[in-house]
Amino acid sequence: MSVVVEGRALTRDYLVPGSLTRKAKLIQAVKGISFSVEAGKTLAIVGESGSGKSTLARIVALIDPASGGELLIDGKPVDILQHRPTREMRSKVQMVFQNPYGSLNPRQKIGDVLTEPLALNTNTPARERRERAEAMLVKVGLPAEVYNRYPHMFSGGQRQRIAIARALMLNPDLLVLDEPVSALDLSVQAQVLNLLADLQDEFNLAYVFISHDLSVVRYIADDVLVMHKGEAVEQGSREALFSDPQHPYTRSLFAATPVTDIEAIRARVEKRAAMRAAV
Ligand SMILES: Nc1ncnc2c1ncn2[C@@H]1O[C@H](COP(=O)(O)OP(=O)(O)OP(=O)(O)O)[C@@H](O)[C@H]1O
């Protein structure tokens, strides 16, 4: 198996400027996190609000710089400290955000949303751009005709499908998904998670999947990294973590998750495992 992304001792500090009455404050949002994700696998990053998940996600997605550490994509180091990733690196890593309402430009037709990354980053002719966009819409479960429509005409789940389609247009190796289903209804969450699982299998994608929801993590993750106050307090395989959590913080996270959610998701986990085993 090939390692798609590796983080080594990543850190990120924020300096919050002081005022006349308050001293400047250094916030260590990410404190020396290391991980790796292979092709076709999912690393879930869990932790409560403020633990540093989004900060780490934005570094890995090459959106924000790191203060220290190293990031390797497909074995090649990325300049994350000066924040000068090459165009090639950028096209290998794409991000999907939590809010499918906010992440699509309301004035842009779906076709333009999808073809834009190709127009900006490749020499693909216009006709082929359209063909590829229509094929990708079908892959994410939407009819090709939506090409000429606008985002407001779609439900939350459909918009998230469009955002996923856009993220896949440059054939990335890695998707960084920051709470991609938490704004959706439960039944729609399951559909989008199934879609992500299918796309991962089809394109052999690596996922870094940020979530505060352990039932979602149990469904999607191969490995889990638990963040608390910027640190990785526990990391390992999903099986090990769910069957025998070691750190008190992980145990307290589990205790706060409703059992019903976990039970509801267990059946889907088993179904997916059976489907994977059958391939
Ligand atoms: N731009 C910024 N400037 C200063 N501090 C920041 C900035 N962004 C994040 N922080 C701080 O860094 C810490 C980690 O925040 P982060 O958003 O990464 O956590 P999170 O686990 O993703 O939380 P949430 O789930 O609420 O998004 C918090 O203390 C936050 O206040």
**Across 30-39, 92-101, 118-127, 233-242, which has the greatest mean pLDDT?**
30-39
- Contact present, 192 and 159 (Cβ < 8 Å): no
- CA of residue 229 to ligand 1 center, whole Å: 10
Where in the chain are the domains?
3-278
Rounded to 10 deg, the angle between the 110-121 and 156-168 helix axes is: 20
Residue nearest to atom 10 of ligand 1 (CA): 29
For 231-243, write each residue's pLDDT tens digit: 999 999 999 998 8
Residue nearest to atom 25 of ligand 1 (CA): 49
Residue nearest to atom 24 of ligand 1 (CA): 49
State the Cα–Cα distance between residues 105 and 93, nearest whole angstrom: 21
| Res. 261: pLDDT tops 80 | no
- CA of residue 24 to ligand 1 center, whole Å: 17
Residue located via tokens 């983080």: 7
The amino acid that residue 120 corresponds to is L
State the Cα–Cα distance between residues 223 and 240, nearest whole angstrom: 9
Q: Which CATH number applies to 3-278?
A: 3.40.50.300
Around ligand 1, the residues with Cβ closer than 6 Å are: 14, 16, 27, 29, 47, 49-55, 212
| pTM for this prediction | 0.90
The amino acid that residue 59 corresponds to is I
For 151-208, write each residue's pLDDT tens digit: 999 999 999 999 999 999 999 999 999 999 988 988 899 899 999 999 999 999 999 9
